[in-house]
């Protein structure tokens, strides 16, 4: 519902109305610009999440693969338990099947390097060819 076209090149390619199976998804603010959102909030004296006052420009998943390394570091300080849980899950992935593939391809030789590649959005982390490169951040999206 809160997805907007200006947020990314990938989102700009989406439609305002999507059909997913039997569902119709309408995005009412899809064409709104950020300044229009804030003007509407101010004009209507609406409450909003205080994280915006702390410098967050978008809210969503805490350990998002499309965040910059700097934003990951900021989020890690604020929500350390999320990062701890995420890194435990990544360790399981590394131990169960990813280690051999990463080493074979020359992408990462240790779990720490594998995890750092993920946080930095290094393309070779992604194992599925269906991903494509994002121009704005050099990261990958479905």
pLDDT digits (tens, 9 = 90+) for 7-62: 888 888 888 898 888 899 899 999 999 999 999 999 999 999 999 998 888 887 88
pTM for this prediction: 0.64
Confidence of residue 130 (pLDDT cuts 50, 70, 90): very low
Say if CB 59 and CB 71 are below 8 A apart: no
Long-range CB contacts (within 8 A, 24+) of 126-133: 127/98, 127/101
Say if CB 118 and CB 90 are below 8 A apart: yes
Confidence of residue 136 (pLDDT cuts 50, 70, 90): very low
pLDDT over threshold 50, residue 127: no
The token duo for 91 is 């360790």
Say if CB 111 and CB 129 are below 8 A apart: no
């Amino acid at each position: 519902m809160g997805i907007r076209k200006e947020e990314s090149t990938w989102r700009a390619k989406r439609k305002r109305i999507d059909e997913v199976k039997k569902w119709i998804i309408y995005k009412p603010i899809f064409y709104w610009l950020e300044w229009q959102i804030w003007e509407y909030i101010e004009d209507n004296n609406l409450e909003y999440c205080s994280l915006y006052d702390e410098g967050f420009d978008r809210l969503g998943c805490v350990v998002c693969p499309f965040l910059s390394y700097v934003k990951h570091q900021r989020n890690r300080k604020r929500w350390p338990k999320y990062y701890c849980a995420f890194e435990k899950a990544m360790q399981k992935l590394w131990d169960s099947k990813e280690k051999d593939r990463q080493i074979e391809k020359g992408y990462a030789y240790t779990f720490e390097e594998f995890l750092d590649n993920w946080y930095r959005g290094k393309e070779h982390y992604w194992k599925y060819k269906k991903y494509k490169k994002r121009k704005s951040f050099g990261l990958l999206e479905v």
